[in-house]
Amino acid sequence: MADDALLDRIAKLEAMNEHLLQRVVELGIEVQRTRTGGFRSMRDSRRCPACGEGALVHVRRVTQVGGRGLIDLGLVHSFSGWSGVKPHGSLESFACRSCGLVEYHVVDWKGVRADGRDVVSIDPDGEPPAEGPYR
């Protein structure tokens, strides 16, 4: 009788252990997806950082209507009387088909200049403090 109770207890503990191991894997995936400072773009991870889905759309050339038809959507544009509107910093996009989040990425930085007014360059402040309330 004692052996049956012990075997039953071991079986229950093994089932509980299996459930806990599965939950640890699930939580690890959740931590990787939501960790602060560890944002992974749809372009790199092939997953939506907002909802975790993998059903995405990649638009390799995002366009807009210009004076002479379609032109690439860019970070900035210049205008010339002869050539019309010219985009600089052409964009591609990734969109989640589940939640609708859209991400834009610069394809080519040529012609994009920080002027301090419309285009402002932000440089990193360095490493965050290791001690104190803002770590």
pLDDT tier at 14, thresholds 50, 70, 90:
very high
pLDDT of residue 135: 47
**CA distances (Å), origin 113, targets 61, 75, 77, 110:** 21, 10, 11, 8
Whether 65 and 103 have beta carbons less than 8 Å apart is answered as no
Higher-confidence position of 15 and 130: 15
pTM for the model stands at 0.59
Amino acid at 56: L
Q: What is the pLDDT of residue 118?
A: 86
Task: Delimit the domains of the chain by residue range.
Answer: 1-38, 40-121
What pLDDT is attached to residue 134?
53
